[in-house]
Amino acid sequence: MKSETLHIRICPRCGASYGRTSALSRADGRTLICPDCGTREALESIGVGAEEQEQILEAIHRSQR
């Protein structure tokens, strides 16, 4: 039987604590960041503005409930 241990991490980009799988920062290709910051970096890289990024993240969070 596989046991899953929840590891709480602190995102170095935003300071939030998170337990889900980390994202790899596009800024340096080495730093592990929270999934939300990973999504923000991806959206920013294609020119999506901050307000729309937040709307997209809200939609993602709603779908995960």
pLDDT in tens, 20-54: 899 999 999 999 999 999 999 999 999 999 999 99
pLDDT on residue 3: 67
pLDDT on residue 6: 79
State the pTM of this model. 0.86
Between the two ends of the chain, the Cα-to-Cα distance in Å is 26
20: DSSP letter? S
- Domain map of the chain by residue range? 9-63
Rounded-to-integer distance, Cα 57 and Cα 63, Å: 10
Binned at pLDDT 50, 70 and 90, residue 18 comes out as very high
Assigned token pair, 29: 């290709």
